[in-house]
Amino acid sequence: MEETHRASAELIQSLLMNAQVSPAGFRSALLGVPPLERDAWVNQVFGLDALPDDGPELPPGCVPYLPCPVDALLRLVEFAGVQASDVFVDVGAGLGRAAALVHLLTGASAIGLEIQPGLVLAARELTRRLNLSRVSFVQGDAASLAGHMVIGSVFFLYCPFNGERLAKVMADLEPIARTREILVCTVDLPLPPCPWLTLVSPPSEDLAVYRGTPLGLPEGWPSWGTRRSLSSPREPR
């Protein structure tokens, strides 16, 4: 990473520690970094070094921790229209990078679900270090906890698991969607058939944003770019 961008990361980190960065300011700083250097820039801001080893608590069938690319999260925020009033739920949060980043870009509250105690401790330390009072983490099996996150409005899965565990999460989210609109966002994760989900993001090899309703969207409902009930995209605040 170039020295100018390293200095930018150090400045933003300092400002975050003193609660002096708005979502618009953080987004502007991030977009000022070349795309190929954004992951390193975020790691610098967050004080993250090498990836930790996974512990014995990782259940069979779960994917070892890998951070979601920053570019994918930027597109997620755009296509999902995440706002400060949302509650972003990261199903399989790891070190908390995605939850913290989405919060900083949008102002949304964020909850991370993670089964590995060491990763949860590191994620909570990240929120303490950067003064992120609206980001929290719950230790436990994300496959069992996701359905209890009834306050969530945007659910995010970056290939935490598949098979029966993924099917359980989707089945547990459907009752929430029956009471109100939610979004389900995935990166590199094909979902099992879910009649209550409708794709609302443009076709992509990695990112998919779905609107969850009991019977899918009504016939003739606008597709991607509508930002829920909005008629035009809204920039994250």
Q: How many domains does the chain have?
A: 1
Q: What is the pLDDT of residues 102-129, one digit of tens each?
A: 999 999 999 999 998 999 999 999 999 9
Residue 62: domain span = 53-212
**Res 123: pLDDT:** 96
Rounded CA-CA distance 72/205 in Å is 11
**Res 235: pLDDT:** 39
74 belongs to a structural domain: yes
The enclosing domain of 121 has a CATH number of 3.40.50.150
Calculate the alpha carbon distances from 210 to 62, 154, 163, 181, 199 in Å. 23, 10, 19, 11, 4
Helix (H, G, I), strand (E, B) or coil at 163: helix
236 belongs to a structural domain: no
3-state helix, strand, coil in the chain (%, to 5): 40, 15, 45
45 belongs to a structural domain: no
Q: Pick the range with the lowest mean pLDDT from 33-42, 61-70, 141-150.
A: 61-70
Contact in structure between 114 and 145 (CB atoms under 8 Å): no
Q: What is the pLDDT of residues 173-194, one digit of tens each?
A: 999 998 889 999 999 999 999 9
Paired tokens of 71: 């570019």
Paired tokens of 52: 């930790």
